[in-house]
Amino acid sequence: MNFWKSLHKPIMVLAPMADVTDPAFRRIIAKYGKPDVMWTEFVSADGLFLGGYDHLIKDLAFTESERPIVAQFFTSKPEMMRKVAELACDLGFDGIDINMGCPDKSIEKQGAGAANIKNSKLAQEVILAAMEGAKKDGKSLPVSVKTRIGYNKNEIETWIPALLETHPTVLTIHARTRKEMSNISADWAQVKRAVEIRDAFRDKDGKGSETLIFGNGDVTDLTDANKKVLETGCDGVMLGRAVYGNPWLFMDVAHPYIPTPRERMQALLEHLALFEELLATNTNFAVMKKHFKAYISGWDGAKELRVRLMETTNPEEARRLLGTVDVGIQG
């Protein structure tokens, strides 16, 4: 059941981003430039079982075109993590990921996200609970963790070994502390150090680690990602913000694809249609507006079009506006 073992390194994967990599956008990415592995947005394990199931389950919708796909969850409660891992098995996901890096204050108040870094023993219990729940009906889904290099300071020398003790399949390192947020450049030297820690690791039984180490933070494209792999020795890279408005991001390693304005507009129209089909009934249209700037850029008149798009209130208005644009724009 461990699909990770069948992938060629370096492995390039899509980062989970709240209100960005939703089911609509993931379908667009899968069509235009599919990464080696896709992630869902993070979903609250507590929320799924404490009153929010009908709303949150929609965030876990996926299609066969997105496989292999990993469901990401957050919680500080081992029992909830066990239950949500069982749910991931039932839903047919290929893997489970635990968010131990999100700096959102409302999530941290629950002891989840980046707050997990402050309690390594509980973090271990959460991971082990996920592994227990991931073994259901003959399945054994791989469990991975996404985290940071520390909370208020760099704690990689103690935090990474604590995670490795549970033997996760993948450990993705966002190369900043929680305190640093995204206010400074990601420190990829820490990803290299995490690889060294992994290579030297031995658990209490003397067993080494087979955990894959991925780096994350400030990666512009696949060329940049491969450069960072060579510099750090990591097994793969998770790309996030670079995919905004650019579902072609994972298309070509050697020659990053540069879409034409016409292609950008077509992709946006498809994205709008999928938003309306999959998300409009329970998601605010404002979620789509963060994509407008990314899609609509790079040609004369793009700024003015973006301003008008930001004034629309629903997908139909946006589609009508795009339909008035001269389709003869360069490209």
Active-site residue list: 102
- Residue at token pair 């929320």: 47
Q: Is 110 helix (H, G, I), strand (E, B) or coil?
A: coil
Residues 6+ apart with CB under 8 A from 162: 120, 123, 124
Max Cα distance, the chain (Å): 67
Q: Is 307 exposed, middle or buried (0-12, 13-18, 19+ CB in 10 A)?
A: exposed
Q: Output the DSSP codes for 40-62.
A: EEEEEHHHHHTT-HHHHGGGG--
- Phi and psi at 142, nearest 5°, equal -70, 140
Using CB atoms within 10 Å of the CB of residue 109, give its burial: 0 to 12 exposed, 13 to 18 middle, 19+ buried: exposed
Q: Is 289 helix (H, G, I), strand (E, B) or coil?
A: helix
Quick one: tokens of 239?
A: 């790309």
Who's near 279: CB < 8 A, 6+ residues apart?
Answer: 22, 23, 24, 58, 287
